[in-house]
Amino acid sequence: MDLELHINVWKEMKEHFSGNDAKDAAEDFVRILIEHGASADEFSEYAIDSEIKNALLEYTELDEDEYETEDEYDEYEDDLYV
């Protein structure tokens, strides 16, 4: 699956949503892509905004062992909840 293409589609569509509509649209967007074979972990590498990052939380697991310090992990976790 070409996630880069889908991310570009999201960028173009996002400007047409406002407030909670953007959040709901991001959740649907992520859910549909994952249902059609997108990898949540790969998708998280392309996460471009807070709506997509928050929508991905349901599908990805934070692995504290990947980070050298607790502060680095906390910073990553904080970025996901922007």
Q: What pLDDT score does 71 carry?
A: 60
Residue 78 has pLDDT above 90, yes or no: no
What's the pTM value of the predicted model, to 2 decimals? 0.68
Q: What pLDDT score does 27 carry?
A: 92
**Total domains present in the chain:** 1
Q: Answer whether 53's CB lies under 8 Å from 47's CB.
A: yes
Provide the domain limits for residue 74: 3-80
